């Protein structure tokens, strides 16, 4: 553990042996050695600079696209929930958004300020930082289509300004500067009818509630959609709806969701993910790639 003498400059909240099940939408996961919530970017910089170099480091949003293994994380988790959540107007159609801003909050800000193009954020159950890290999308929109530039931070607490051209952006994939984490982004929208945008968001969310198991412990979509196809269709066609390992269950409502039906373990979910991949490969000749990020200590480590 980090000693108190090395932490006298930090201002945020530092917890030890924090259960990650409290911070993931699957309600699953072992403990993190350190769990830190900074108060601002300067405080985050101090914490990162003092963090031992050999500590594993994970930046966390709402835990909605994350599976933490049962043995937990032997290192530090930086939680952006409740911090770095400011939205600053830059001009008539662009804003600077902190990585700790929820995508739902950003969607509301857009239609209240007559900014068009961000409606899809209402369908992303996470923070902007996570959306930037994976090029999250919903309802046909994707995060990086709106990015003008980003500010990142590294393990030493140094910050950098990057543009989209500094990264390789693809479907649910962002590569480049892997040892840096997003702290804010400048986003470009189009001026338009905010009331019409709000109505569109309401319609999309109503449709999602009908077709997806909202309100149940899940991570959202587990697998990426293959090109010109849908993971849910492939899983359903393979006869896997309702299939369970322990209390981890393939949703009957939407086959690309795995539900924690009671007291599922991370090992149950991970085993079910691998089983689904195996069966879909055998029956459909398609290699499903995970959208969810799996982290933490393996059982044999």
| Spatial distance between the Cα atoms of 111 and 87, rounded to a whole number of angstroms | 14
CA-closest candidate to residue 67, choices 212, 238, 223: 223
Say if residues 126 and 102 touch (Cβ distance below 8 Å): yes
Q: DSSP H helical segments within 85-230, as ranges?
A: 103-112, 128-134, 194-211
| Spatial distance between the Cα atoms of 200 and 158, rounded to a whole number of angstroms | 40
- Strands 293-295, 66-68: pairing kind: parallel
Say if residues 238 and 277 touch (Cβ distance below 8 Å): no
Bridge partners of 73, per DSSP, are 32
Q: Catalytic residue numbers? A: 172, 221, 291
Bridge partners of 32, per DSSP, are 18, 73
Count other C-beta atoms under 10 Å from residue 16's C-beta.
11
Count other C-beta atoms under 10 Å from residue 9's C-beta.
10
**Residue where the block lists tokens 């079910």:** 272
Structure-token pair, residue 266 = 């991370």
């Amino acid at each position: 553990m980090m000693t108190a003498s090395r932490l006298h400059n930090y201002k945020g909240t530092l917890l030890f042996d924090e259960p990650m099940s409290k911070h993931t939408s699957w309600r699953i996961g072992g403990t993190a050695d350190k769990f830190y919530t900074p108060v601002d970017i300067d405080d985050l910089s101090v914490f990162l600079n003092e963090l031992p170099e050999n500590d594993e480091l994970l930046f966390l949003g709402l835990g909605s696209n994350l599976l933490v293994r049962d043995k937990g994380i032997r290192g530090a988790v930086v939680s952006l929930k409740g911090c770095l959540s400011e939205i600053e107007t830059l001009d008539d159609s662009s804003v600077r958004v902190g990585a700790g801003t929820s995508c739902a909050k950003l969607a509301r800000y857009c239609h209240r300020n007559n900014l068009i193009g961000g409606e899809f954020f209402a369908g992303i159950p996470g923070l902007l930082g996570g959306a930037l890290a994976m090029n999250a999308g919903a309802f046909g929109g994707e995060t990086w289509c709106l990015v003008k530039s980003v500010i990142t931070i590294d393990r030493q607490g140094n910050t950098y300004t990057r543009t989209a051209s500094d990264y390789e952006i693809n479907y649910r994939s962002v590569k480049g500067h892997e040892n840096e984490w997003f702290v804010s982004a400048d986003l470009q929208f189009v001026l338009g009818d905010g009331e019409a945008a709000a109505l569109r968001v309401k319609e999309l969310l109503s449709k999602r509630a009908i077709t997806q198991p909202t309100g149940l412990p899940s991570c959202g979509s587990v697998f990426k959609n293959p090109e010109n196809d849908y993971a849910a269709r492939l899983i359903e066609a393979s006869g896997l709806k309702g299939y369970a390992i322990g209390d981890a269950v393939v949703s009957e409502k939407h086959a690309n969701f795995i539900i924690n039906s009671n007291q599922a373990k991370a090992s149950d979910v991970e085993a079910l993910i691998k089983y689904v991949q195996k069966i879909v490969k055998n029956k459909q000749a398609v290699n499903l790639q995970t959208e969810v990020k799996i982290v933490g200590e393996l059982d044999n480590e």
